[in-house]
Chains A and B, each alone.
Chain A
């Protein structure tokens, strides 16, 4: 392990887009009171894949790598909808996933929001509507915000999260 710590110290911090942190500081100042009231200072997200190709999930996982380190902004992916403020919904809302996505949403305590992730849930991806697909998601849920892209890259996702925090306050 000593070799690991040596390497770790040599390489230092690789996290990028530091400007997001200062942006967040500004937002925090602007909205501190309301954020504290609504989110107790942090934003908890429950990711639900309703029938994607897994690229959107891979990009959400990438948000935790050292370059992006999403949690420094106080935004967390949580294991249960009961811990969440927001449902982040990717995929085409398949016929088979529709009841489960609705269940997950019902489990989130109010106040709650839905952000759609990627082109699939809004039917902007190349897939066509058929018997197995219930998208666009807007016909089944009240969607607050959308992150476009196929898939949106991690930085775009982070920027929209901040935009979202600003908007709902």
Chain B
């Protein structure tokens, strides 16, 4: 049984802790006076971040948990505050006394700690990596994030779905179309409407375009982190071309506001011509890059996540498919009819993740041909009914899960689990037997989101 997410909500008299698996949902009520329950982290190691987050958010205590440090709240966050409680309504916090965070560290003769971040050397999002080193060799890595926490969950409470949309679009810029499609599906469940096939096709086209942009960027940056800059120059140009196509289709370079329940006219001829040119360039790139042995010396056997570990940590998306797990939310009738083929590699290393991205770009180009059509269907939205709604979308990183509770027409609880929230927790497993100089390469091969993770 695959663990998907664990989150809490505050009811009138109780807290409710919801645990979602691929096969079932467990709900547990806890008293507000003594909110204590059993940890799941002994069986599902990735449950630990969910539980630490619930402690920060609501003050819920998990008995027998192997880690009870704060997660979202950092050194200067005022003690004893749980911002997701209804009663919490402060709009400003003063920094309180600095309480050091105790990092996971391996001690020993000659073992030393390397702290990296939150601000990194490149143009990257902020996050912290703490290494225990024996010379070049990495003994352990702790990933520590939530520097970007913007209190999105709290911000959306009390808003209508329409009011929430521009914020949901901007949770993670690289995955905005995936977030918007999750939102779309929740809206349609709440308004009890069916999505016309023609709109589903346009939306799916845009999602594949977003995936291509993200993967192309990575196809440049991964070799760049191994010192092969020419690949970045080549791939970043293709990524820019694709971004300009996205702007042509949606009026925005990232597609903010693009999922609007309407179809807009597409110049199918020029789009097809571009797809053909892109395919040619990607195949050329593949042939060229496959032929550079010094690059594969760096990729092969670097940063391995074994199949067993990938299963144990319930990893998602590109990372899962590179470690031999056949898991993709696009594995359904609609996508298969439009040419979806699951990418798969088994070696679990940087090379495998690189090859999965290449396969997915080629497959996405094929699917975009099939999604492309001239159409101007539009759907007028009905009003929404109260209830608890959930949706899933395969973003360019992996499975995105969103849930929204609507009560009296407004959002009572919003929660989203970015695939990064799970995959970050498996990153340290890839470090065994690698040297610290390969960390950027391994990290980039997973290319996880900080913004979507931190909320």
Chain A positions within 8 Å of B, measured between CB atoms, are 1, 3-4, 7, 14, 47-62, 64-67, 77, 79-80, 91-92, 94-100, 104, 125-133, 150-151, 153
Cβ distance B453 to chain A, nearest Cβ, rounded Å:
11
> Are A53 and B451 CB-contacts (below 8 A) given A58-B173, A60-B123, A100-B119?
yes
Selected contact of B254 from candidates A64, A132, A151, CB within 8 Å: A151
Cβ distance B147 to chain A, nearest Cβ, rounded Å:
5
> Are A92 and B150 CB-contacts (below 8 A) given A61-B217, A64-B236?
yes
Say yes or no: B125 contacts A131, CB within 8 Å: no
Q: Look across to chain A and name the residue whose beta carbon is closest to the beta carbon of B253.
A: A153
Q: How far is the CA of A4 from the CA of B234 in the complex (A)?
A: 10
Selected contact of A53 from candidates B119, B154, B170, B253, CB within 8 Å: B170
Q: Look across to chain A and name the residue whose beta carbon is closest to the beta carbon of B128.
A: A100
Q: 1/0 per residue B47-79: CB within 8 Å of A?
A: 000000000000000000000000000101100
30 contacts between A and B (CB under 8 A): A1-B292, A49-B126, A50-B126, A51-B148, A51-B451, A52-B148, A54-B172, A55-B170, A58-B217, A58-B254, A59-B253, A61-B123, A61-B236, A65-B237, A66-B233, A80-B121, A96-B149, A97-B126, A125-B170, A128-B155, A129-B92, A130-B154, A131-B90, A131-B93, A132-B93, A132-B149, A132-B151, A150-B170, A151-B253, A153-B253
Say yes or no: B230 contacts A4, CB within 8 Å: yes
Q: How far is the CA of A104 from the CA of B126 in the complex (A)?
A: 12
Contact partners of B256 in chain A: CB under 8 A: 150
Say yes or no: A129 contacts B91, CB within 8 Å: yes
Task: Point out which of A3, A49, A54, A130 has the most chain B C-beta atoms below 10 A from its C-beta.
Answer: A54
- A98-B95, A104-B119 known; 17 other A-B pairs, CB under 8 Å? A4-B288, A47-B123, A49-B125, A54-B451, A58-B174, A58-B217, A95-B149, A97-B126, A127-B167, A127-B170, A128-B155, A130-B154, A131-B91, A131-B151, A132-B149, A132-B154, A153-B253
Say yes or no: A79 contacts B240, CB within 8 Å: no
| A-B CB proximity, top 7 nearest | A55-B173, A132-B151, A126-B166, A79-B121, A65-B236, A53-B173, A54-B173
Q: How far is the CA of A130 from the CA of B154 in the complex (A)?
A: 8
Contact partners of A54 in chain B: CB under 8 A: 125, 172-174, 449-451
> Are A100 and B147 CB-contacts (below 8 A) given A47-B123, A62-B236?
yes
- B215 at the A/B interface (Cβ < 8 Å)? no
Selected contact of A66 from candidates B91, B217, B237, B450, CB within 8 Å: B237
Task: Point out which of B91, B151, B167 has the most chain A C-beta atoms below 10 A from its C-beta.
Answer: B151
Q: How far is the CA of A133 from the CA of B152 in the complex (A)?
A: 10
Contact partners of A48 in chain B: CB under 8 A: 119, 126
Contact partners of B174 in chain A: CB under 8 A: 54-55, 58
> Are A99 and B151 CB-contacts (below 8 A) given A54-B450, A65-B236?
no
Contact partners of B449 in chain A: CB under 8 A: 54
Q: How far is the CA of A55 from the CA of B92 in the complex (A)?
A: 26
Contact partners of A131 in chain B: CB under 8 A: 83, 88, 90-93, 151, 154
Contact partners of A129 in chain B: CB under 8 A: 91-92
Contact partners of B146 in chain A: CB under 8 A: 96
- B334 at the A/B interface (Cβ < 8 Å)? no
Task: Point out which of A91, A95, A129 has the most chain B C-beta atoms below 10 A from its C-beta.
Answer: A95
> Are A151 and B150 CB-contacts (below 8 A) given A3-B288, A4-B288?
no
Q: How far is the CA of A92 from the CA of B150 in the complex (A)?
A: 8
Q: How far is the CA of A55 from the CA of B147 in the complex (A)?
A: 17
> Are A65 and B123 CB-contacts (below 8 A) given A54-B451, A130-B91, A131-B151?
no
Q: 1/0 per residue B71-107: CB within 8 Å of A?
A: 0001011000001000010111101000000000000
Selected contact of A65 from candidates B77, B90, B240, B451, CB within 8 Å: B240
Contact partners of A62 in chain B: CB under 8 A: 236, 239-240, 243
- B269 at the A/B interface (Cβ < 8 Å)? no
Q: How far is the CA of A52 from the CA of B451 in the complex (A)?
A: 7
